[in-house]
Structure 1
Amino acid sequence: MGFDRGFQFLGQLFVRSLVLPAPDEPDPDASAVMRELAEADAATAEAVAAGYDPGARVLYLVEPERRLSLRAESFAVLDGGGSLLLSLPPARVNRIELGPGAVVDDPVWRHALATDTTLAFLDGHGKTQGYLAPPQPAEAQLQLAQAALVLHPERRLALARVLVGARLRNQRARLAVLNRSAKATEVDRAIAALGRAIRGLAAPMPDLDTLRGHEGRAARIYWPALARLCTAHKGPFLCERPAKTPLNAAINYLTALLARDIRAALIGAGLHPGFGVLHQAQDRGDAAVYDLMEVFRATLSEGLAVSLFNRRRLREEMFEPQGDSLRLLTPGRRALITGYEEALERVIRSSQTGQRHALRRIMLEEARALARHCRSPETVPYLPQLQDY
């Protein structure tokens, strides 16, 4: 039983760097678990040497009354009574996500900065409130090239068209996968209509507004078909914030998870997260994050939410009304984070390098490909990762 497949330790469940309460079971022997962890690390190192990269690890503290402290040089997770649940050296974790109920001891702040560990602060809906992160190396020349591309109307439109094409193709692929068992005729019609919308991208597009309008018309095909495939959703589907239906709330939560991973990938590639081509750059906005998310949303946010409901891993009772919106309860957060991390463990072949990697590493490969495109759009054009049927 390896680290990436999950194990139980001190009454907690760990999936990669995922920390969530497990059902009540006898605690395993701590030394035996740590031996398994060491063996899993050795196996991972061997796989990395062979070309596989599992990507970054994320530690989630979203359960009530969790406390992040230090033990020696390691990050320590304590329960409400101060008992140690987990101790992780900084080399084992890249980002720590802190829910609204988490408490952070003062020494943790400087230790996180000193060890290049990002802390992300979340609200109760999973939305990012802010980050504590070390200074990033200046990539001034790359970011100037990125800005120059954004300010060049033809090059900006050409890259935005590529991103929309990836969005539509991956939407079509996800509907096809989800409809394998449902075999819904109206979904088959939507898949065919998306095919026509994809072919329509070859038509002249004089400006970004025309392209966005084309994407919007495709969205009116996609969203009803996606909602039709969710057994827990009834009636028409609306994308809303705050969400008023469980499906919308789940998609919003998964989208926030994806946004943090995409932002980390862009920064890791040296790009500025605010300079977008399809999405308009604006103060306190991450337009480039929204751009690159287009490649992954159908698989890791929208389609994943439908799959979790259909497999009964996510259920309506995991949500409760809160004013004019829905509140996601602890079991729902647990199901969404676990499902997301499991989806990220899928190993696929990178369209950029030809090597097989887990999806979090693929995100970094995509960000690096965008960086190469910004430096030289004509010689190394960006070709996005497309999902399988």
Structure 2
Amino acid sequence: MLDRHGLEMHGEGSRVVDFDRGFEFLGHLFVRSMTLKRVADPEEEALEAMRGLAARDAAKAEEVRAAEVLEEDELARGYDRGQRILHVVGAGRRLALRNLSFTVTGEDSRELLAIAHTRVDRIELGPGAEVETEAIRHALASDTDFAFVNGEGETLGWLSPPSFRRAGLHLAQAKVALDSALAADLARRIVEGRLRNERAQLHRLNRRVSDPEVIVATKTLGRMIRKLPEARDVDALRGAEGAAGAIYWPALGRLAAVAPQPFRRLRPAGDPLNATINYLTALLARDIRAALLSRGLHPGIGALHAASDRGEACVWDLMEGFRAPLTEGLAVSLFNQGRLDADMFSGREDGTMWIGPEARRAIIEGYETAAARRLKSPHSGRKRSWRVLMEEEAGAYGAHCRAPKSQPFQPQVIDH
């Protein structure tokens, strides 16, 4: 090839070089896709700086590859974390796009994180954080949901790719919701799961304390569970759930040092424990919504909760069994373990609570840790993370709607 052009390769003076490491040629510096004119000073630092940048990028890429290998290995062994969430909630954080990867920068424009879209299923953008248009476009193109949240963790809105839902399954949901007997049967299963998990959560939190009033509350909840078959319709079941709450909430508050006594459930929150439960509940609601959509269910058609305009009755139905372990019990544990403190919150003039950035971080980290834990699934019989279990639960809910007699819904319970 060279001979045709009158050229000859000089063996001793030639070598193979790597663009990533950089090299000099004809008075120019070449590193990756960049070219700089060489300065007179042979000790000029630009090349080394660029080589350092390339080395850091290569190290990040290697970390990503290692994480992907670990994830593939876990999947091969039957472990699936479920949906992966990127939380961008700190003030001054900015979500952008670089080389088809999402990046997060801080107030000083320093890159804090770069992650491929293949490793993100949902992005949650909190107050004070910004996002570039290209990152939004890439999220839509890569089927990555966006949730915009406020300082209390509530969902302000969604940005999602177009979804093609299953009309047949939606009609099956509607049939159950509109048939009083079918709706009552499914609602009873949901309420029983909720009450069993409330009782189990009180048992667990009370192991070391042995508060006698909490013990009485768990026994009372047990009697209420046994009486659920007597509830003839959905309204009666809602009443039973409300009566159980009147027993459950004061008992839960006795197990948290920061809770006002007697503890009452408040929305909006007027104390740190309620504020934390509300924030965790919003996180759970977004996870449940994603699970429902992944299984083709309509989020607005439920059995225990009545369908309403702009409401998500099915999301609220499926949340019931997950509330005690992933929101209420977790909130108490975060305070009891010292990961949250009342000083991280402050009251507003209207009586509501402001959640400080340190508290938001602790709440999100606590939830992510809890959601990654594994337990035995009643649906597959295998150990699943909570997020994967949510998807299995959504699938079981849909199967019940299609065939209530042959595939009855059995929610996850933790009080075996």
Identify which of 314, 319, 335 aligns with 2:345: 319
| 1:257 counterpart letter in structure 2 | L
The answer to whether residue 274 in structure 2 is matched with residue 242 in structure 1 is no
Q: Is 1:217 aligned to 2:231, yes or no?
A: no
Q: Give the 3 Å change call, closer, same or farther, for CA 176–80 of structure 1 in structure 2.
A: same
Whether the aligned pair in 2 keeps the contact of 1:273 and 1:286 (CA below 8 Å) is yes
Deviation at 1:83, TM superposition (A): 2.0
Of 50, 53, 71 in structure 1, the residue corresponding to residue 98 of structure 2 is: 71
CA distance in 1, matches of 2:383, 2:118: 23
Q: Conserved in 2, the CA contact under 8 Å of 1:119 and 1:132?
A: yes
Asked whether the 8 Å contact 2:165–2:297 carries over to 1, the reply is: no
Superposition map of 1:234-383 within 5 A = 234-323=260-349, 324-383=351-410
Corresponding position of 1:146: 173
1:195 aligns with 2:222: yes
- For the 8 Å contact 2:199–2:415, the answer to whether it is kept is no
| Contact 1:52-1:355 within 8 A present in 2 as well | no
Q: Which amino acid aligns with 1:315?
A: D
SS of the aligned residue for 1:159 comes to helix
Per-residue deviation at 1:135?
1.2
Shift of 1:38: 3.2
* Shift, 1:41, TM fit: 2.7
**Is the Cα–Cα contact under 8 Å of residues 250 and 336 in structure 1 kept in the other structure?**
yes
Aligned residue pairs: how many? 360
What is the match of residue 197 of structure 2? 170
Q: TM-score, normalised by structure 1?
A: 0.90
| SS of residue paired to 1:200 | helix
Contact 1:118-1:131 at 8 Å conserved across structures: yes
Deviations 1:337-383 (A, max 9, x none): 01100001111111101121111010000000111111111111110
SS in 1 for 2:79: coil
The answer as to whether partners of 2:260 and 2:271 remain within 8 angstroms in 1 is: no
Q: Is the 8 A contact 1:56 1:360 kept in 2?
A: yes
Equivalent residue for 1:43, pick from 53, 61, 70: 70
Whole-Å separation in 1 of the counterparts to 2:235 and 2:409: 21
Superposed displacement of residue 30, structure 1: 7.4
Q: What SS does the aligned partner of 2:229 have? A: coil
Question: RMSD value over aligned CA atoms?
Answer: 1.4
What are the superposed Cα offsets for residues 116-137 of structure 1, whole Å, 9 maximum, x if unpaired? 0001000111100000001112
Q: Which has the higher contact order (CA 8 A, sep 6+)?
A: 1
Match of 1:62 among 89, 110, 117: 89
- Of residues 229-238 and 66-75 in structure 1, the stretch that sits farther from structure 2 once superposed is 229-238
Separation in 1 of the partners of 2:287 and 2:157?
14
TM-score of the pair, normalised by structure 2: 0.84
The separation in 2 between residues aligned to 1:223 and 1:240, in whole angstroms, is 11
Question: Radius of gyration: which is bigger?
Answer: 2
- Which residue identity is paired with 2:334? L
Q: 1:31 to 1:312 in 2, by over 3 A?
A: farther
Q: Which amino acid aligns with 2:133?
A: D
Unpaired runs of 5+ residues, structure 2, are 1-55
Residues 40/88 of structure 1: CA separation in 2 closer, same or farther (3 Å cut): closer
Q: Are 2:124 and 1:88 aligned? A: no
**For 1:85-138, what per-residue CA distance to the aligned partner results, in whole angstroms no more than 9, with x for missing partners?**
111111010000000211111112221111000010001111000000011122
Residue identity over aligned pairs, in percent, reads 50
Whole-Å separation in 2 of the counterparts to 1:373 and 1:32: 49
- Offset, 1:37: 4.6
Rounded Cα–Cα distance in structure 2 between residues aligned with 1:175 and 1:252: 19
Matched AA of 1:243: A
- Which residue pairs with 1:229 in the alignment? 255
Give the whole-Å Cα distance in 2 for the aligned partners of 1:304 and 1:224.
Answer: 16
- The residue matched to 1:182 in structure 2 has which SS? coil
State the distance in 2 between where 1:290 and 1:49 align.
33
